[in-house]
Structure 1
Amino acid sequence: MTEQESEVRAKLRALVGQPTGGTGLPSVAPDPVNQPMIRHWAHALDDMNPVYLDPEFAASSRFGGIVSPPVMLQTWTMPSPKLEGIGDRGGAPVEILSNPTAFLDEAGYTSTVATNSEFEIERYPRLGDVISSTSVFEEVSDEKTTALGTGFFLTWLITYTDQNGEVLGRQRFRVLRFRPAR
């Protein structure tokens, strides 16, 4: 193992338990859980569950009212797209200055592919809930060789809570950062 490889592995291991970027503070949804967005989601995905759409049915259900599809947790906390100046940059996205994995690019692991996402649901979001999320690196694999190339699987754990701090669910999001196969 070269000195650079040892340094990369040490930096990767040091990520575990650390925020995935930014300040580490919770990301707060720009809007409370609301019926119009639930309706748009349900129609877009053809998920016509009446607890999402029918107030009378939902009121008599175990939920006692309209709830959000639980996998919308991620959607509620997504930031607005940052499009200012995109024409001036030739359509290029803005580089995240606080990217804690930038050292992987420098070490040649320049490609990224999302591999999977898993949800654990504690409670369905209700109308009016204000959802927040925090994200930390949960796990980093040893170096693996795949058909795409050689790299590391990085798993981050995103925890979603309501306005009272009650955990609504968790999401494990995994990516492969790799050196493309030649």
Structure 2
Amino acid sequence: MSEKAVSEKAVSENAVSGRAVSERAASGKAVNEKAAREKAAGLDLTDVDHRVGKPVGGGQLWDPCSASDVRRWVMAMDYPNPLHWDEEFARESRFGGIVAPQSIAVALDYGHGAQPACVGRIPGSHLIFGGEEWWFYGCPVRPGDTLFQERRFHDYKVVETKFAGPTMFSRGDTVHRNQHGALVARERSTAIRYLADEAGRRGMYDDRIGEARRWTDGELTEIGKARHDWLLSNRAGVSPRFGEVEVGDTLPRRVIGPHSIASFTTEYRAFLFNIWGTFHWTAPDGVEDPWINQDPGWTEGFAFDEEGARIDPRERDGLYVGPSRGHIDSDKASRVGMARAYGYGATMGAWCTDYLAYWAGTDGMVRHSKADFRGPAFEGDVTWFDAEVVGKQDESVWGVPLVQVRLRLTDQDGGVLVTCTAEIELPF
């Protein structure tokens, strides 16, 4: 019905004033515009449905993990556990040398671990990370090891979000085994796929547009002290005993930041698949159309040039060209619904694992964790870690006692970035 018809109908039926008619017409127009916008924001999932439950392909690193790869990773994650970078310290440990942190599995994978959750072409879409769930099997990664991945697209659902309207939450599974076939870890990643133009129109993070926060010298001193205190909280790697831990105990507080273009770039380059020529494409045997390196439908200006990259690898570099460029470029970030440069979901997942493993010490380990990503770490922000013991299990499916810990990551204003629950093995 036209605006004129709406107004005439309102006058005849309700005998309202001219002002009321005008207001109602304006309201009707707004409703129609909203409906039209929401219809236009619908996701085209015709290339997604038939892929659910099927194995998928992806990238495989050519080279084994090196000690330098381990050091680069913990440097990027701001995780100065000497077990992972200090050769002399590591040789005196029960490991007898440098060993990788549990979080490195995602760095030895392709696509930040989200490959099996980003399956099917959705035109005009972008992707951010929604969460990670990990299971660890007690097989550490050492220099010289190679991880091999088996991937499967698990499922998806579409929900209405304030951020981008109709939004797809898709999940993919990855199994990580080493060169001996030993099971190292399993991951279930959640990808959030949405139409970039719609997120840009809604402007959920527009209040963060502008110059990144500037910190005073006094504030930076306090942040530095909190960081140093956490480093000293368990630098020796002493594991708390299961019997000594009580429900309600709090873990030492940690802080990372302030985040910057430099720190985001350092993080990105520690994911080895981002280095030129480090991987090749693989596909599971016997699977028709296994979704290896097809175009997911990235919005204009965020796609790779796979053919051009055969000559110039920068054309699929990811940081300069591709879907990750918004992480270090505020102009590009605004085009996908972000206010300015922002951090990586897979990084936040690794932060959680590292933080919990540091508390568990060299005789403990993270067995399972489930992290939900609630918001991005923007340039200029700091991230605080607060955790509490919320449960204990004398017996578990792992055959060992477990301590359950609830962890929250927040920014300097109390905004929640991550909520995480984990089960941690501790010695008796």
TM over 0.5, shorter chain? yes
CA spacing shift, 1:111–1:41, aligned 2, 3 Å: closer
Per the alignment, residue 135 of structure 1 pairs with 151
- The counterpart of 1:165, out of the listed 164, 181, 184, is 181
Cα RMSD of the aligned pairs, angstroms, is 3.0
User: Residue by residue, what CA displacement relative to the aligned partner does 1:106-158 show, whole Å, maximum 9, x if unpaired?
Assistant: xxx734332223332223211211111122112212x2101121032111111
Q: 1:10 to 1:40 in 2, by over 3 A?
A: closer
Corresponding residue of 1:18: 54
Give 1:39's aligned residue: 71
Is the counterpart of residue 78 in structure 1 residue 110 in structure 2?
yes
Change (3 A) 1:57 1:136: same
Residues 59 and 17 (structure 1 numbering): CA distance in 2 closer, same or farther, change over 3 Å? farther
Q: Is 1:101 aligned to 2:137, yes or no? A: no
**Alignment partner of 1:110 is 2:149:** no
> How has the CA–CA distance of structure 1 residues 137 and 29 changed in structure 2, closer, same or farther, with 3 Å as cutoff?
same
Matched, 1:63 2:130: no
Percent identical: 27
Partner of 1:68, secondary structure, is coil
Whether contact under 8 Å (1:52, 1:66) holds in the other structure is: yes
1:156 corresponds, among 147, 172, 186, to 172
Q: Distance in 2 between matches of 1:63 and 1:175?
A: 35
Q: How many residue pairs get matched? A: 148
Aligned to 1:174: 190
Q: Distance in 2 between matches of 1:140 and 1:67?
A: 36
Which has a greater percent of helix?
2
Separation in 2, partners of 1:110, 1:15: 18
Are residues 8 and 33 of structure 1, via their aligned partners in 2, closer, same or farther at CA, if it must alter by over 3 Å? closer
Given that residues 132 and 160 in structure 1 are in contact (C-alpha distance below 8 angstroms), is that contact kept between their aligned partners in structure 2? yes
| 1:144 alignment partner in structure 2 | 159
Letter in structure 2 aligned against 1:161: R
Q: Structure 2: how far apart are the matches of 1:28 and 1:134? A: 10
Distance 2:186 2:106 in 1: 10
Amino acid at match of 2:70: I
CA contact under 8 A between 1:30 and 1:77: conserved in structure 2?
Answer: no
Calculate the TM-score normalised by the size of structure 1.
0.66
Does the aligned pair in 2 maintain the 1:28–1:130 contact within 8 Å?
Answer: no
Task: Give the conservation status (yes or no) of the 8 Å contact 1:20–1:137.
Answer: yes
Q: 1:100 to 1:116 in 2, by over 3 A?
A: closer
| SS state at 1:118 partner | strand
Aligned residue identity for 1:121: F
Give yes or no for the alignment of 1:119 onto 2:134. yes
Higher relative contact order, structure no. (Cα contacts within 8 Å, ≥ 6 residues apart): 1
Residue 8 of structure 1: how far off its partner (Å): 4.4
| Aligned equivalents of 2:71, 2:152: Cα separation in 1 | 31
Question: What is the Cα deviation at residue 160 of structure 1?
Answer: 1.1
Describe the superposition over 1:59-95 as per-residue Cα deviations: whole angstroms up to 9, x where unpaired. 443434321122221222338xxxxxxxxxxxxxxxx
Letter in 1 for 2:74: A
55-64 or 156-165, which moves further after superposition?
Answer: 55-64
SS for the counterpart of 2:153 is strand
SS class of match (1:76):
coil
Structure 1 residue ranges without an equivalent (≥5) = 80-98
Q: What is residue 85 of structure 1 aligned with on the other side?
A: none
Structure 1 stretch 115-124 or stretch 131-140: which is displaced more?
115-124
Q: Secondary structure at the match of 2:107?
A: helix
